[in-house]
Structure 1
């Protein structure tokens, strides 16, 4: 009989525990109470401010009086948004006549001990002696997220016969608590982003009834530091919405809301938590110290370093430049302010490249100058610096340039130095790197055309020979063309004269009748020749 009762009690207890685990809501009670096994009569005894010391256990009383103890949190509600939490303690003990009752005590940091004492009647103890009985109490009010020390003792308090454990009540992040327990009600926040105006339209729901509500924007760190954008939403306002403006969509920029009551819990929503690319800005350069600095606008675990941007778009890490990022300022000392020097930020498998000197005035560069028909290769610098300069060649379409000869060049501020490089050929490249700083990229300058320099006499002589030969050939061609034109004109004039003279001797029929009147003999009259034929005219007159 005893074993059957005990087994049924354990099965029922495990069933209740399983049901509680499956539900997300806490068990509800209409009022606090104390319950005991059927037939076990009891009364509630007032708590003692100072409990007496423990007694020596009675004969035959073992330390295994408490067979099982279960602790849970239940909720007692008067109406919506007005619920309290209570600690429910249920124990299974082996009753004997020497055990007059059970005491449930709880204590937390900074609080006095709170005990609920249940005393059994003498008749009940005698009737159920050596039987397992259950005792349950849920009249101890607790707070959310409260750590308690729970002790179950016998009455009277027998030494070494007690049960003690540590218990943590549910936190306010539980949905059930956030909707019903006043000290957990934070309200629900939703938002609509307007990136063009840099505004957030915020809507509040399920806020604590009968109270005003605070809204603000803040930067989340150990605490959420306000940005200045805030508003108070009055409880009489039917439309529970507001508009707040922001400057940058940082990942740590959050909307914070809380009820206008003392020690009210707060809710935070961070609309831009995935916008990590907004962190890599405000990189500054101190030209006097030649130092590159950056401070994260939000706390973040990342790695930052310097890299050298290549022609293929890749950025190669510079040695000894990597630093871990948290929330402190980073400084890279002795940096060459070159457009190809960039900062690289990495978070996990993602990386971002920022080049602070791109598009700015170059501190130094290699240029080709032309003067009096000659071209010179010069290294110009706006600061006093030392450089490594060398010839290099590219092969096989590779972007890497293999250095063949190098030399050190010192350049004063705002001056230029001619690079007298022997062996400079067509399509040659010059590799330059600054030596007087800690972090500097290696710049490569390639020239597709040949430089017209006095240091290349063979190329210069060949050019002059080609030019003189071309001029002579042009002159000969022009003279030949002129002679050809003159000869053609002369021949055409001569041919025209011959054609004119062949037509001078003609017979005029009208002249025959006149002549026959004056001359007795029949004959012919000669018509004068054309003016083009002078000699023939003279000959005709003589005849």
Structure 2
């Protein structure tokens, strides 16, 4: 005996919330408004749907500021009613207002530029659109000028009402003629017969088949329980984007029926439509499998990525579902495909639609990932050929035409040149020479960033004897250094850890933080900053990543550096006022917003000295603007107080005076050009190629 899956009382789908509707009598439309306003339907009522372009208000005007809808029944007789959409619009006065006379005593409200005995008038147009019809209605309203205050609501306007079919989707716009602002809009989904308490008053709801959906092992059983004399239509279809449907199976049936569906046929957009075979009967539809895990698994098994041309691709799938697509770089050796973010942003993908790649050239290592529900559902390297042993270089255009490069590695993007122990870092000078000599392939070119694929075969494919000899020489040199310079050998591993936390106010401030982090890593300090760990943050989330990094830094007797900016100060004040900010508002990689939950208690409980150091930048924020609780730790303004800042970072392992002076000069030289760019207008900051 099959186990009941869900039972549909009158038509299809799960039992919806039953609603009771107000009744109105009479076929005519009507307009009414709140006290103090006068309104009426325009001459002819219906007008052409021509919103026109937005114009400047010549003075005070009435404009719609809010719109809401309500479902009612328009009844011609007790058992002959239709669904109707009632619209309520709130109005306010906008425009130019006269300032009060300066010689008048006391403060005064702005005044209208029209006589006080005049009226403000408006023509409000309501546009209704369904699958089969479009209608525009004109409403005229006026209010005495003496009752109007600038920027305040003046009252509301109600339109009764727009008739629509059961189950229809009605899109509504509201604007004035002429139009002084962007129109208001909303979408109203009308219920069908199964959601109406008064369905006995709607004749088209009187006869509907009874259907149940039950599990039958791995398959699905549709049971339609109707009388033997009743004739009805049954349609199985795939619901597509924009409300379209793609028929799959259709039959005209009589009497009770049982239909078996294979579990492999289930997809989220598989829907069922049933209706009596009578004139003007209502078709009722439901999509009972949209939340079924098996249906979602079947969908992604059937989805395919196809390359249409060197610069466009297609995601072929039965259903249109929200998903995200990114380009990623797949290196040989089975390492995870590294998302190219930055510089290529995440974007929503539409099923069954050709999409252009934002790349100049294809490459076998460039792959496409399709993600849904934070999980990689599909990954395809669409360009033919085996994976190449190439290094991807990310070029960043800085101020004054300065360019910087980093190599994409599994651990992040390593700046070049660099002393990091990675292959790309070791080949940094050669890779840069090859790029300037034109031996690298440009894959993407943006306003301030570009991607280059540089081959490294000539550096890797060498004789094994030379490789082993180099390894032996390197091992001998390292052993000699360890024996003769023990102190120096311990310096690099013992470098103090520093975690930089900041608020991503804008791209210029992120470049400034990146320049500071790169300079500190060459002092040397073991610097951690979210700019270099975006892939880890995307996988773990900002809060989890921050907690792990902070705990590791403090356990290693490192220091947490808070870089204060106007945005960071605003976030601190929100926390101090007891209103923790919502993390999604500040971006998916904003570690500063995530950090305050564990950083603030340290400051409030006196645990900040020795563990935290604060810093701001000259000209961007004064130290006095930092909230008082955060001044419990040393606070420095950079680059004017670099000496004290670097001394606080080194702590008990303070470098010798001469070495400290060299570090101060090195960090200052790295900061000044980037800091200067923060004070130039955006057009000048982008350089001569910023407009391309």
TM-score by length of 1: 0.37
Higher alpha-carbon Rg: 1
TM-score by length of 2: 0.30
1 or 2, which has the higher helix percentage? 2
